[in-house]
Structure 1
Amino acid sequence: MKRFSILVILLLNIISMAHANERGLFWQLKAPNGSTHYLFGTIHTDDNRIIKFLPVVKKSVSQSDLLLVEITPDNHSPNLILKDHSLVSKLTEDELNQVKKLSEFHVMYFENVIRMKPWLLAVIFDSPKPHTEFNQDYLLMAMAGDLDKDVIGIESSQEHFATMDSLSLDEQLIMLRAVLKKTEKERLSDYNLLMKDYLSADAEQIRHTDERLTGKLLPEALWAKIKVKLMDERNKKMVAKIKELSKDKQLFIAVGASHLAGQDGLLSQLRQSGFKMSPMKAFE
């Protein structure tokens, strides 16, 4: 009996290692009820290397009943403006000059920027290139619209931003100042590192790099607290929504690639729930 137990443990370890070493950002899922679904780990950029989807992506969307994304696409924008505050009174002259410079780079009005929540500016300004609507998520939603497919979100925009909104103003300013201190070369280096991981389709490394880059913007204890809400709790919510909708719908699921990996990631949780999965190729 003892020998049998050891063999079982060894077998489970081998299986776990095999899953950990798998590469893939686009997956076909077979639910316990036999229905077919698709899971696509996205990255929020319009980089030309990853927005020219192979025909199988459109075919998979067309075969699905709906596109499930992270945030409900609606016209009710969350409140992104500071109440009774302006960054003019919170930042030094040098910091404000940097904010103005980055505002111009990202084609944003400085007068509006200085009223925006610091955590949001940190996210925007950390990118080495201006944000556009032609990222993977937008393209997938446009594709679904062209195919007359419904698009629904796992969270509302208010729910999605609630975690970062829970930061105090001082905590948000710590995050913004960390970004303002980065040079253009450092921002580009971080971006290229994450893109390298994404192009290799290594979900584990993507999550590790993403968490490391985001984590260095906040004090360690604060980041540990925020990470639970950004990743662990949201992953559970995503899996619950997928399991619920997959009972009578065929889904094309598009969420950030960092949510796929790890013991609490979507791939692991869905496997534990009886989903079978096989990797597919989304772009060259």
Structure 2
Amino acid sequence: MGNANFLKCVILGCLFILAGCAGNKAPEVSAEVPAESSVSPALKGIEEPAGEKHFFWKVSDENSSVWVLGSVHFADSTFYPLDSVIETAFVASEELAVEINLNDDSTSNEVSSKMMQDGLLPAGVSLNSVLPRNVWNSLDSLCAAWNFPVMALQRLRPWFAATTLSAVAIQRAGIQAEYGIDVVLMDRAATDGKAIVGLETAEDQVSALSGTGKDSDESQSDSAGVYYLKTTLREIAGLDSMVAQMMRAWKTGNDSLLRVVMNAEFCDEKSGNCEGDSESEKKMKADLEERIYTSRNAKMAGSIAQFLEEDRNVFVVIGAAHLALDEDNVIELLRRKGFRIQRF
């Protein structure tokens, strides 16, 4: 997958739980034509795809089809209305499948409970005592610049602090969870009386993010959390450009641009060190990619295959990163299973 980093994963929707933290009531969306996003000079050579194209696929077997849409979980009003080909497929569907059904109160409460259970440090331990001094100083300086109380993060494990920091950074960039594709479509599905199916459990989502689980080691989890808190802090400096480029990639269905943005490397300005320099960081990155992508992609592809086997009329919405970034993405896994794939 390359250097797909934590903050980028959140924006594209590798994990959906952040949308629930901001509330899941979809706003009224305008039909204004999106303005052309600014693009950094390094990415101006990326060609737009020929013809109109989306992160949207039809997956079929001999007698049934399932629609699969790649989502961004943080967006703005310029993403709406969705293209007519997406709208038509959604209206005709009988069920909506999402990564996790946060419209269900019990699921939403379970996610919140699990995050608090796995995301708080033990009594008497504070975040500044867990983080390397340079990381804490960077975090403290950023919070001061944002006028955000760093003390609000003191009880959080590094991964949860990174999650919180990402949510704040994204909202400061002007995109919101309530405009996320999943959130808007879940609200519409509930209004239209469509069944909403969750592909994952609260345990699946939180464990993928936190690195906790039955056989997990807390110290290793915290070390990995420090790693992606560091990379999140690096990425925030270029957030505005990154968001504009990701929005452009999604709106134009531009795989090449999406991959370039996701694989961009962020370096520490003072030290010049880039993520993944050390062997331990390379291992942490590989473990994170396994949790967030590889294992979850396989499970999602299996669920879609089962929908087809059962001849169910389902519209599936999962993070675009699961559909377009590497050779083990959900679409490629379904192709290997022998299903017919069409992109729209």
Q: Name the TM-score, length of structure 1 as normaliser.
A: 0.76
Q: Which residue of 2 aligns with 1:146?
A: 191
> Aligned match of 1:125 in 165, 170, 193?
165
Q: Which of 115, 120, 131 is the matching residue for 1:82?
A: 120
For 1:107-186, what aligned pairs fall within 5 Å after superposition? 111-126=151-166, 128-130=169-171, 131-166=176-211, 168-182=221-235, 184=237, 186=238
Give deviations 1:231-254, integer Å, cap 9, x for gaps: 222111111111112223111010
1:83, distance to aligned residue in structure 2 (A): 3.1
Q: Which amino acid aligns with 1:259?
A: H
Q: CA deviation at 1:144?
A: 1.1
The aligned residue for residue 56 of structure 2 is: 26
Counterparts of 1:1-284 in structure 2, within 5 Å, are 24-29=54-59, 31-73=60-102, 74-75=107-108, 76-77=110-111, 78-80=114-116, 81-84=119-122, 85-91=125-131, 92=133, 94-98=137-141, 100-101=143-144, 111-126=151-166, 128-130=169-171, 131-166=176-211, 168-182=221-235, 184=237, 186-203=238-255, 205-207=257-259, 209-212=261-264, 219-248=281-310, 249-261=312-324, 262-280=326-344
Q: 206-215 vs 114-123, which deviates more?
A: 206-215
Q: C-alpha displacement at 1:104, in angstroms?
A: 5.0
| CA offsets 1:120-140 (integer angstroms, 9 cap, x no match) | 332443464314322111011
Tell me if structure 1 keeps the 8 A contact 2:115–2:206: no
Q: Give me the identity figure in percent.
A: 21
Letter of the 1:28 counterpart: K
CA distance in 1, matches of 2:232, 2:75: 21
Query: 5+ unaligned residues in a row in structure 1: which ranges?
Result: 1-20
* Counterparts in 2 of 1:136 and 1:101: CA distance versus 1, 3 Å: farther
CA distance in structure 2 between the aligned counterparts of 1:121 and 1:221, rounded to whole angstroms: 21
State the shift of 1:39 in Å: 0.8
Q: Aligned partners of 2:336, 2:74: CA distance in 1, in Å?
A: 31
Q: What is the DSSP-based 3-state SS (H/G/I as helix, E as strand, rest coil) of the residue aligned with 1:152? A: strand
Pair 1:208–1:161, CA change in 2 (3 A): farther
How many pairs are equivalent?
255
Q: Does structure 1 conserve the Cα–Cα contact (< 8 Å) formed by 2:71 and 2:180? A: no
**Closer/same/farther in 2, CA of residues 258 and 183 from structure 1, 3 Å limit:** closer
* 8 A Cα contact 2:61 2:308, kept in partner: no
Under a length normalisation based on structure 2, what TM-score does the superposition of the two structures give?
0.64
How far residue 68 of structure 1 moved from its aligned partner, in angstroms, is: 1.0
Q: Which amino acid aligns with 1:53?
A: L
Q: 1:259, 1:153 → 2: CA distance? A: 16
